[in-house]
Structure formats: structure tokens, C-alpha cells
Amino acid sequence: MPSSSSSCSSSRCGSHLVVKHHVVRCSSASSSGHSSQGARLKPARRAARGVGKTLAGIRRHRHHPLLQQLNAEAVHFDDLFSERDACGVGFIASMKGERNHDVVDKAILGLGCMEHRGACSADNDSGDGAGVMTEIPWKLLASEMAGVEEGKCGVGMIFLPQDEGEAKTCRDFITRLAVERGFEVVGWRDVPVDSSVVGAMAKETEPVVAQIVVKQDLPTYEELDRELYILRKKIEQEVFEMYGPEDECYICSFSGKTVVYKGMLRSAVVQNYFLDLQNELFETAFCIYHRRFSTNTVPKWPLAQPMRFLGHNGEINTLQGNLNIMNSREKLLNHPLWEGHEEDLLPICKGKGASDSANLDRVAELLTKTEFDVEPTMMLLVPEAYENHPDLDTKYPEVKAFYKYFEGLQEGWDGPALLVFSDGDKVGARLDRNGLRPARFWQTEDDYIFVASEVGVLGDVFESAAKVVRKGRLGPGQMLSVDMRKGTFSTNIDIAKMAAAQKPYAEWAKNIKEIEGFAFKGECQLSAADALEMQIAFGYGIEDSQLIIEAMATDGNEATFCMGDTIALPVLSGRPHLLYDYFKQRFAQVTNPPIDPLREGIVMSLAVRLGKRGNLLKPEADSVVQANLSSPVLIEDELEEVMNTDFLQAKKFSTFFKAGSDMSKTIEKICKEAEEAVRAGCQCVVLSDKPEVGGFKDGKLSAEDPAIPILLIAGAVNHHLIDQGLRTEASIVCETAQAFSTHHFACLVGYGVSAVCPYLALETCRQWRMSPKTESLIKKGRVSNISIEDCQFNYRFAINKGLKKILSKMGFSLLSSYQGAQIFDIYGLAKDVVDTSFVGSVSRIGGMTMDDLARETMSFWNQAFPELPSKLPFFGFITSRPTGEYHAANPEMSKLLHKAVGLGGKNPAIENFRVYQEHMEKAPITTLRDMLEIKSDRDAIPIDEVEPASKIVERFCTGGMSLGAISRETHEVIAIAMNRIGGKSNSGEGGEDPIRWVPVDDVNEDGVSDSFDYLKGLQNGDIATSAVKQVASGRFGVTPHFLANANQLEIKIAQGAKPGEGGQLPGKKVSPYIASLRRSKPGVPLISPPPHHDIYSIEDLAQLIYDLHQVNENAKVSVKLVAQAGIGTIASGVAKANADVIQISGHDGGTGASPVSSIKHCGGPLELGLAETHISLTENQLRDRVILRADGGLRCGRDVMMSALLGADEYGFGTLAMIATGCIMARICHTNNCPVGVASQREDLRKKFPGTPSDLVNFFLFIAEEVREEMAAMGYRTMDELIGRGDLLKQRDVPLEKTQNFDASFLTQYAGSSSMVSSERISQATHSNGPQLEDTIIADKDFQNAVETEGTFDITTDIINVDRAFGGRIGGHVAYRYGDNGFAGSININLNGSAGQSFGCFLVGGINVKLVGEGNDYVCKGMAGGEVSIMPPADLQAEATSSVVIGNTALYGATGGRLFASGRAGERFSVRNSMADAVIEGVGDHCCEYMTGGCVVVLGPVGRNVGAGMTGGLGYFYDEDESFCSKLNTEIVIAQRVKSSAGEQQLKGLISDHFEKTKSKKAKMLLDNWSNELPKFWQIVPPSELGTPEAANEDIETEVMVEQNA
Ligand code: SF4
């Protein structure tokens, strides 16, 4: 049975030397179950297709069964999504190539430092994976086996089946194949292991580990390795025939140089398990090590890392697209070296059963075994963000040419990635383009290079300091490499120059034709009537025209809306929808981060290529002859240019079909015609629904010839070309009327289209601009007077911006990687449709068939013929009106509810609630749960036998609505009401006023309190604290005091209204009160970034959970996710990361303002997310570890029952809580003009707020009573009995208007029981971090005395890297008692060593920490006061000023305090800092990003994008080499010299303090030469600081930087 609190994941070791021997247990949950998720969630294989068989006869022929089964189809989402991971990696290498056993021991020590970056299975003992890659231990092998000869032998490290007979069979066929390939088998060797150290779950699948040594006399190592590679591939093909894709017999490595020892192990037992690693004869010059954290609870031995070439920390977001393209280019891959073996090498990648790392490894391996050096291989696979790169632009254009050339051959494998790799001669490391994983390196005087995910790997920091001659880190897109044969160590630009010089890439890149510089049409191309006919026929509604297209044409922005998506899922609706509406965009959560397109757009590109991609294995001048587009949105003349570009041989295909005919036949015909054209040399297939292309009379549409939905035909052609192995031979372009919103373009590109010419959307812009109505509005000044060209420019600008946002939600930087990646979930399409056009995407609920879609297409088409209506139809998909689509939350239901609860403290009436209930029951089908009904297995019971409402309401919560988005009155009334009933309110983002944390005791008989005089209906004893306090990405108001006063802490990963996006509070809502809580300035807009800058992976989430448990060990930590396919795997990872609560939100909830496209097209239904999460957690035996909370669009007791049966323990209400307290669903929340003061900060409107706590109490009691009635009818007495009983649900027998193929079976499964009932889960103790270094300090009587008396306490002790989040517990302890800065005493802590992650987090005033050594990432996270100083040991040989002393993302969310660090920091220094001061001697990219206050002084080099989104505070940058200006983001801030005396004083004061605290040589130099050096400083000033004394100019002209980033 899982324990109620997890064991320690960072148990502290007494000394550094002990780390490797210390048994470090995992923090993950216990479970011994076997996941059957794959089977349960797996879509039927394509081979079993029924309706899709119309295209089946033209599938690509493959000879080998492996090829037939794996590669004749596109990659399936479910096959990939079950393996998500992140990890810790590193290596040690001797530059001189000296082999010794010490390298192994040192690597094992480093691996021990990574334990907390990995995870374990449910038994807390079976590691998700750990291992090492080394040189082959020739000495050891030769001591055991005669005939072993380095240079002639290769060694295969093999996992054999446990069954003796099967293992023998495998040995036999491997031997046979080796002999067939001309090898002599020198011998087999059982690798000695100690199985007693393997965890119980890992033991179940523990393979027999064996080595085979084979020999062949070949001229070079390279030839030997190629022969071994072919042999391994042939073995894999044979294994597949025997076992399928399950890797029953798996080759860890088969090489003449390297060997991999790995398994489902924890770091600490790798050396214990593999006895070879203890053998002194095991000598190597390098060792790569890796520790894995898998979201899957039943990880596999083969997926442990390192792989054969690389070890990976991070995740490849673009995997599905990468695999699809890789599979379809296989036919093109040839090289003289592989002549005759082309089929032997296939498949290159492996979809099912392989992780992203394993697949990338396979591609990298192929390239390096062909003719590529390791460094260029990694550069082209994981390219740097080479555009807008100041250094590359000016100094290294040849490097840009390299990237530009290869962009046309190989799409990037994009996502967070620290990759360490080796081919046996070189060892290196590469970081992703956005620098999302940490990578530190050290060079020692005896020529060893260490690289690791974090510090501490060298052991004792004082001992190693004297040996370290260089310390550094990898920045975004950077690389390092050790050539052990040549004895060299190279870093980024030297490597890039070497790679770029290998071939004349600059010359070759001239074959890329730019299509640009064409003008928009200057006049309408259609008559108004013809335009209207086309708009109606193609499905445009008045909302599409006005709220989508015209809104973008007006000012280049998407329209904003609020209160979620309240209409029916399209498949449930009776109204026709465009095909795009059945697709929901996927978004990144937890396992990978979204990108920030606003502030970090420098890493993004929408460029796309048209034309054939040449042979990747043999890049030559003619391999990349392509057209380049800067955006996939083509205007008419650009398309014309494409058609006229000779080498493309572009050809148009009409996409109309005959009304009444079989649409799928026409699709098949077009696919075949496109195939034939491509075979004949066409490199650009243009699918067109332009009437001219259809050949209709007068260029007008024909009533008899509707157009196939463009997404349907484009997807079909894409997959047909994939099937035919032709996909890389040609691009697909659409010329279509059926694309006008950002979502439409994203869908088309996502399913393989390179570019889209939206001719009717452009015409709609033109028609709008030239219409009399617009002319009149312009005259009245209500619309700005823009030209017809400008409105088209604005439209395209908005689409491009929206596309970047959609890409960024999933963490994509490059449109070229997004293309064909199919990053969508489908809700409401049947198998025949998916199998034809959207192969591999998830569609769980069935729905519209080809015939249904043809009918739906006709229903739009028929509206335009024969009579043309006078205007566009109103569908009501966005706004609610009686003639339009039904909206589930609407003014009528709000009126009924107000009456029922007695809004304003009046008497509630159950009979009025019945009216509300009846209204809900009669409402049209809107949600998936509306398609379900309860079928009980018991007889009804009297209602008094059912548990009381008071017990049920304790399970109710309210949504995370921020104070700022809603008014103070609403926020506090909701909190008070929830506290009255024992439920939980949620603070949302933005902090909370401490006066709310004490009960009210001054309420008079009128229900009014002096301290809360703006509220009505109070009672003495009421308390306005929010039980759940939220930690969102902006970290506004997240101080130690806030955290220490929480019952629960919620990490908001995503929100239902706009998953994958950040938040924004408009300046007009930032009142002085709101600004004070958020530590910002009134009137300044507050933006929360899309990612949490401390969560770029699952292991990062585990760290933040750890930090929060550290600062408040009593508060449960919940993680808020949004439903989408694969959420079960994510939730399992979150449970393993030690969360106490998981909240699943549906896409339709959300109360805040969001872009319309985000509200409508992202996130999945609550029901599916809930069911998948509950099933996955139960099957993985993690269910009892977490409380599962449902949230999103719940409106009545029946919704609660449904959520309970689907598995939820607790139930959240957002919109309904607002309605119950007064919201009338006017839906103008985003304007600050809410007429009832619910969602406004305006004083006048807030006075109109009608709600009282009793209104919400009454609502929840009514809901609870409704639940009780349902329970009584079912014969169930307690909620505990029915939670998770999906089998008590069945699909309702109600016909849907549009399809008969809806299938709710996914929702009606019984996942099985778990060992606890729901109420036991809820009452479990909070998960623990285990014993902590800080516990010993807090237990010290002198410390307690100092805290009690506000006295002084001093202590000196050691720290090692497993001591994580140091300072958080002491900070929380003091903050709970004294607040963030109320402690008048002094706690002084001196530490020596390498500090773990989040050092100095959540410190408060009065706590001073000094560290001699080095820090990791997240130093001073959330610091509110106190001081941290960090300096290297005095005898560090390397120059301190140029050495890295702390990692990434320091001071994230700091609200006070001071940091002095003598050395450099990584990326995002001081991100979202709002009040802290800091001095540092060099930083990476994105310094001061989103800063709203405080002061940062940087005394050394800086990376790019300084000051992005910085709205407050000041920065001072010492610009020695005059390069600073090119690094500044001038969107908001300006740079000026330090001219005011207050500014100089501030700067000099901080540098003086820096010197005093750290003895920095740099600081001393500056102070000694102050008058000479001061002019070299730039002061960075946002507008809000311009008037301050520090930034003001005293009689000297301001030197304002030229706008560079406009
Ligand atoms: S009444 Fe206020 S809170 Fe409710 S929808 Fe309207 S603006 Fe938003």
C-alpha cells in the first residue's frame, strides 16, 4: 500500500564521498502494477482500417515485416506519448584520451549527484533508469576472453529474454547473423551483475545481460563500426519478427569503441549492479552518465540511457512530425557507403516503444556512421536560433549559411535538450536553441573535462577549486566538444566555424530562392454579391467576418473574449461547423514548456520551404533547391510567383466534388493525381477551391459542385504521399477560401501544408475596407483610416502572430518543425475520416463520417444557392443570442440562479432552485456528460440514509480566479463562503492581503464589519483567507508569508480558458491596491509568462513541488492541468513528482479574458481528461497518492455526480461561483466595466456588487442536496462508494442531429479499485521532503531562541548538491511568525560547498546566507528579504570573474532581499524580480525579463534579449566591449548612461556592498577606477522609472537607444 507521505528524494549524505554509497530513495509513489494504458488507449492500427481502405491498395510496398508494420503508416500519437521523460546527464572525459578506472569512479560520483533528477517506479526502489557509456574496457575483456583485439573486435551489450530457452534462441540467431556478415564470434560473456540491488518492479523485467565479442579484420575503425551497425540493424529486424516492437531482445550498444551499461536502476546502485564497473581493469578515457525520470510508471530497461550515441535531458516536442518526415524520407536516403544495404538500415526511427531520445539517437547515429562529424550532426539536428543573432549576423555569416542550408534538408528536433554524446573519439554536449536545460562544465589542470546538469559532480568544492582552470556553462544553442584523439577541447563558435567550413554552404545556400516583396491587391477582386455568395457557401458567419477577420484587419490583433467556451462540442451541436472546429490544439504542460512568443520570440521562426528535400546523407549543391517563404500565409501574387518558379513545377488540383456523389472517391482521385504529378517531377502540389480552377462558368461557384473541406483533402494528400514515400519530394500548398482564422492555418500546417493563400479572407478584408459602412465609420472616427493594403497587412500580421502563439503553446520554435507534426486532438470525427486524412491523431469519441462531413459541407453550400441571402448567417458560436447556438452559461440561467439562492442575502428558495434545475435538465446537449446517464446496480434508498450535505460540500472548491481579474468584494465573499462550508476557495494569481488570514470579530447585527466594511452579510468568525493559494508563472504576490499561510498550494500549469498561454492583467485593472499586493506599479499591465521559468520539465516540476513543501511542510501541493489526450501519462508523472493533489480542468471553463481562438480551439473536455487521468493513475497504482479534483463548467449536482463517477474526489466551480454571487453573464469582464462589480476594479462599479457569502453557501447546499437525491435514487449512501465507478454510466440513447457514430465508451469504463476510499485519500498527511539540513538548524535551541526573541544566531556548516531549496524552510518558519520583513533579529548562516537547486529560496528579512562554493539553478527563487552572498573558494585557479558561480533563473519571482554573486550566472537572471537588488559578474540571455522592480547590476558579459517585458526596476550593465546595445530588447526599456547622482550612488553603493560581501576582484577594480569606469555603464530604464531620481537626467541629455526590436 502506498505510504501517505513519500520518502525522501534527497536524503542527505554526511560528506561528498558518501554520495555514491548512500542509498538515495526515490520520492515517487509506490506501485507494483502493470500499466495496460497502452492497450487501453491505443487506437486501432491502421492495418485494421475499414472505410479508409479506398486508399489501401496504393500503400507503399515493403518487403520486411518490420518495415511493413512500422513504416507503412504514419506515427500514432498514443504510441509516442506513453514515454515522456527528463533527466540528469553529464560526462567526464580525458582530453588526452588517458584510460584509467578513476574516470568510472568519478562518473559514478557525478551520477550520484543526479539522483533527485530521476524517479523511481511505485516500489520506490526501481529506478526509471540510470547508466553509463564508456570506451570498451579492453583490458578487462582480454583478461577473460582470448582473441579480444582492440581495433578488430566489436562488443555488443545485449539484454536477452529472461527465459533461458528464448535467450538461447536469441544468442543463436545473433551468432548466426554475425557469421553471415563475415564476423568471427570471439565469444559470449555473461555480464556479471548483482541482482539483489534491483528494485522489485524492475526485477520483474530484468533481462539477462550479456556481451558478444565479434571480430573482423577491416582497414579502419569506421568501417568496423559500419559493419557492426548493419549487423545490429539486421538483428533488430529479426527481433521484431520474433517479438514485435517490445524489445524482448535489445542491443544497448554494438560498437568497436563504446559500450553502454544501463538498466532500471537508481544512480546509487549502477556500480553495485554492474560488477564490471567495480573492476579496476575497467579503464576508459571518458564516461557519459545519465539518470532518468519517466512519466510512465512502468519504464523499460531499454529506455534507460545513455543510448548508443547520446544521453538526453529534456524532451523533443516535435517528435511526431520528425518521425513522419524521417519515415517518409527513408526512400531517399542513400550513400555509397551503404550501397546494397539500404533496406538493411530500415527503419531508421522506431515509433512505438521508443522514446524521443531513442529516436533522435537513431538519426544521429546514422548520420555519424555515414560521413558526418559528430559536431555538425548535432548542429543540424538541433539547430541554433540563427536568425536575428547579432554575432552570427556580423561575424560568422558562414555559420548562418550552414544552418540555412540544412534547414532545407532536415527539420529541427526541437524542444528542451541538453544532449551529451560520443562516437568513441569525441565527447561533447549540445544545448537546445532556447537554453531550457542547465549545462555546466569544468576543465581541470590535469586536462579532464566535466559536464553536468548541475554542480557538485566534482566532489569537494574546495579540493577541486585548486584544480579547476576553467568553469563555464552552455548557453542557448551552444556546444562543446572534447577530441580525445587530438587532445583538444573546443567550445561553441570554434566548433560552428569548423562545421561551416567543411562544405561551401554559403554558395549552396544561393540556390534558395526568396519569395518576398510582393504587394497586396489594391482593389476588390469580386463584386460584393459574388463575395457574399462565396462566403456563405464556404461557411462564413457574421461573427467570423466581424469578430475574426475584421478585428484582425483593423489593428493586427485577434479579438478578446471571456467566460470560457459555453457552446456544445461541434459533434453534439445541431448546427453545421467547419471541419476545423473538430480539432483542438494541443499544448505543453509539465513535460515540456511552452515558449514565450512575446518576450522570447527571437528563437522563433515562421519560415517555410517549398520544394523537394534532397538526400540528407549526401548533402550537395543541388540537394537544397527550394523556395523560401518568411510566413506560410501567401498573398495572391506570391502564389503566382510560386506557380511561375520553374524548379518547383507547381501544379494546381481542383478540390470540388459533385453534390450527391461519394466525396471519398473524389479525395482518392485527387490523391492519385497528386501522386502521379509528384512522380513526374512536380515539387509543389497546390490544392485549390478557387472557382476558376474548378473550371466553372464565369469563374463563379456552381451549386452542384461543393468544395471538399480543404483540411480534409490536404490531410489526405499529405498522408497519401507519406504512404507512397514521396512526402519529401514535394510540398503542399492550399489556395483556399476555407481558411480565415489562426486556428485554420495552424490545422492546415499541422497536417502537412507548407503554405496557404487565403484568397477569400483577403478579399473579405478588402470588401470590408471598401464597404460604405466602413467608410462611414472612418468618417466618424470610429475606425482608423487605413488603406486597403494596410488592412490586408494587418490581417496577415495577426495571423502570423497567432501562429507563433499556437506554436509556442506546444513549445515549438519553428514552423518548419510544426508542419506535419499533427499537434491536435480530434473530438468528433469517425475512424474513416481519421484514417484517410489525420492518421495517428487521437479521436476518442468517434463522430462524423465521410458521409456526415459531405452532408455538413452541403448544408453550408446550399445556403448560397439558388437564392443568395442578403447577409451572412448568424451562428452564435461566440456570442449568445436567441437565434444562435445555445450557450450553457447565459443570462437566463443566471437570473434563475439568483432567484434560487436569494442573491444579496435574501432568503433562498428550494422551489426556485428546482426551476433552475429544470432549466438545466431541458437545456440542449452541450457537454460529453450530457450524453451519459447513470445506471445504478442498486435499489433506491431513503434520502436520510445518504451522507449529509455538510459532508458533501467539503468536497467543493472554487476556481482560481485572481484578485485583479475579479473585484476584492467578489474574491473575499467567495473565500468567506467556502470557509463557512469547509470547502476551499482559491486565491488565483496575485497574492493575498494578510488581513484576510485572521478571523473577523467585529461584525455588527447588520452583518457589517469595520475591517471589511465593503462587504455585506458577514458573521463573527468568518475568515476571508483562500484555502488554496496559487503559484502561477508570474509569481505575483507569491511571498514566503503568503505561502506559509496556505492550507494548500496550487501550481497552475495551465488554465482552461487558454491552456499553454500566459496571463495578462490590463493596466486599467491594476489599481493601487492590486499593485501593492503584486509588488508592482498601478496602471502598468502585468503579464504572466506562458511557462513557469522554473518548470521546463517533469523533474523541474518535482523541484518546485519540493520547494513548496520546503517552505510550508503542512500545505498539500496541487498541480492544475488541463484536459487533453495523454493527460493520464502527464498526471502519472506529476504524482511521481510528489504532488498531493491533481486538478484536471476542462477546456470550457475559465472566467478570465482570452483571445477568442484560445477559448475556442485549445484544450479538451473535462470528462475525457478526468477519465483518462483516473484510469491511468489507478492502473499505475498511483491513484491513492493524489486527490483528484475536477473543474471546468460544472453547473449542477448532476455534473458533480458525473465527475465523481469518472473519478474525481473534489469538484471545482468557477463561472457558477461568480454567477451565484452576482454575475449576470454580460461577458465584458475584460473591459473592467462589469456592470455588477464582479469583475471590475472600478470603485463605482464595485459598489454595485450584490453578493453575500450566504448566496454562495446556499448555492452549494442546493447542489449538495441535488447530489444526495441522485445518490438516494442510485442506492448509494456515501460519495466514497461511487467515486471512480465509470461502469455505472452508460451512453444515453438520444439521437444526435449530425451523426450516429458518437461513442462514449471511453467514459464508461471501470478502472478498478484502489486500496483507499476517497475520504481516506483526502485526509492523508501532506507528502514530505524527508529529512533536511535545515531541520537540524531549526531544531537548534539557539536558533529557536533567536527566532523567539528576535535575537542573533550564527552557524557554519557544509552543504552538498542534494541539499536542495536551502533557506526555504527557515524562511517559511520565520515568515509564518513575522511576515516577510518583520523579523528584527539576525540569522547568519555560513555554508561551504556546492548548494543544491533553489538555494536561498523564499528567504525573508533578517536571514543572511553566505555560500563559499557554487550554486545551481533557481538561486533566491521567491526571496522576499534577507541577503545571499556567493563566492568561489579563495584558491580557485580559474578566474572567478569569468567563471560561472550560479545557474539559470536566479531571483525568479523575488519580492525583496539582496543577492551578491562573485562570478557569472546563466539564463534569465532576475526574471520576474519585483523588488530584490542584485550584483552579478556576467549573465546569459533574457536578463531582467518581466522585471517589475528592484535593481540589477551586471559587471560582465550579457546574453541576448536584455530587458524583455521589463516594466519596473532598474538595471546597470558594465559594457566593456561596447556590445551591450545589440543585446538589448528595446520594446519597452531604454538605455542611458548613468547621469544622475542618485543613480551613481545606487550603482556605486551596490558595487561597494558586492565587494564587501564577496571580495570580488572585478568590484575592486571598478571602485578603484570609478571615474574612468562609470561612463562604461548603461542604465536600463522602463517608462515607469523615468521620473525616479536614479533614472532622472540632471542637466544632461538622455541617450535613448534606437528602437531595434520594433
Ligand atoms: S457580469 Fe461581470 S463578471 Fe459576469 S460576465 Fe459580465 S462582466 Fe463578466
Give the DSSP letter string of 185-231: EEEEEEPPB-GGGS-HHHHHTPPEEEEEEEE---SSHHHHHHHHHHH
Distance 1227 CA to ligand 1 centre (A): 5
Distance 1238 CA to ligand 1 centre (A): 6
Q: Which atom of ligand 1 is nearest to the CA of 1224?
A: 1
Residue 1234, ligand 1, Cβ within 6 A = yes
Distance 1210 CA to ligand 1 centre (A): 26
Q: Which residues contact 1583 (CB under 8 A, 6 or more apart)?
A: 1511, 1532
How is residue 102 written as a grid cell?
578513476
Residue 889, ligand 1, Cβ within 6 A = no
Q: Read off the pLDDT of residues 1068-1103 as tens digits, 9 standing for 90 and up.
A: 889 999 999 998 889 988 888 888 999 988 889 999
Mutation test residue for ligand 1: of 561, 1216, 1236, the one with most atoms within 8 Å of CB: 1236
Distance 1152 CA to ligand 1 centre (A): 10
Residue 1226, ligand 1, Cβ within 6 A = yes
Alpha carbon nearest to ligand 1 atom 8, residue? 1229
Distance of alpha carbon 395 from alpha carbon 375, whole angstroms: 20
Residue 1201, ligand 1, Cβ within 6 A = no
How is residue 35 written as a grid cell?
500499466
Relative to beta strand 956-960, strand 1210-1213 is: parallel
As a residue count, the chain comes to: 1606
Q: Residue 244 has what pLDDT? A: 76
Residue 961, ligand 1, Cβ within 6 A = no
Q: Residue 294 has what pLDDT? A: 73
SS3 of 789, please?
helix
Q: Which atom of ligand 1 is nearest to the CA of 1219?
A: 4
Residue 1228, ligand 1, Cβ within 6 A = yes
Are 872 and 536 spatial neighbours (Cβ–Cβ below 8 Å)? yes
Distance of alpha carbon 227 from alpha carbon 932, whole angstroms: 59
Main-chain phi, psi angles of 1408, to 5 degrees: -120, 125
Distance of alpha carbon 1365 from alpha carbon 1398, whole angstroms: 4
Q: Kindly report whether the global pTM for this prediction surpasses the value 0.75.
A: yes
Alpha carbon nearest to ligand 1 atom 2, residue? 1234
The residues of the chain scoring below 50 in pLDDT are: 1-72, 1595-1606
How is residue 1137 written as a grid cell?
513528482
Distance of alpha carbon 894 from alpha carbon 417, whole angstroms: 49
Q: Specify burial of residue 1542 (Cβ count, 10 A radius: 0-12, 13-18, 19+).
A: middle
Residue 1220, ligand 1, Cβ within 6 A = no
Q: Which atom of ligand 1 is nearest to the CA of 1233?
A: 7
Q: Residue 512 has what pLDDT? A: 97
Q: Residue 603 has what pLDDT? A: 86
Residue 1236, ligand 1, Cβ within 6 A = yes
Q: Residue 1316 has what pLDDT? A: 94
Peptide bond into 347 cis (omega under 30): yes
Catalytic positions:
87
Distance 563 CA to ligand 1 centre (A): 8
Q: Residue 66 has what pLDDT? A: 39
Residue 858, ligand 1, Cβ within 6 A = no
Are 363 and 346 spatial neighbours (Cβ–Cβ below 8 Å)? no
Residue 1225, ligand 1, Cβ within 6 A = yes
Q: Residue 636 has what pLDDT? A: 98
Q: Which atom of ligand 1 is nearest to the CA of 966?
A: 3
Q: Please name the helix (run of DSSP H) or strand (run of DSSP E) that holds residue 758, with its range, or none.
A: none
Residue 1227, ligand 1, Cβ within 6 A = yes
Distance 668 CA to ligand 1 centre (A): 50
Distance of alpha carbon 1575 from alpha carbon 1569, whole angstroms: 11
Q: Residue 296 has what pLDDT? A: 60
- How many CB atoms are closer than 10 A to CB 1235? 14
Q: Where are the alpha helices (DSSP H) in 549-646?
A: 551-555, 636-644
Residue 1231, ligand 1, Cβ within 6 A = no
Mutation test residue for ligand 1: of 887, 894, 1234, the one with most atoms within 8 Å of CB: 1234
Distance 1232 CA to ligand 1 centre (A): 9
Q: Please name the helix (run of DSSP H) or strand (run of DSSP E) that holds residue 167, with its range, or none.
A: helix 164-180
Distance 1224 CA to ligand 1 centre (A): 6
From edge to edge, which strands make up the β-sheet containing 85-94?
A: 258-263, 130-135, 286-294, 85-94, 448-452, 440-444, 468-473
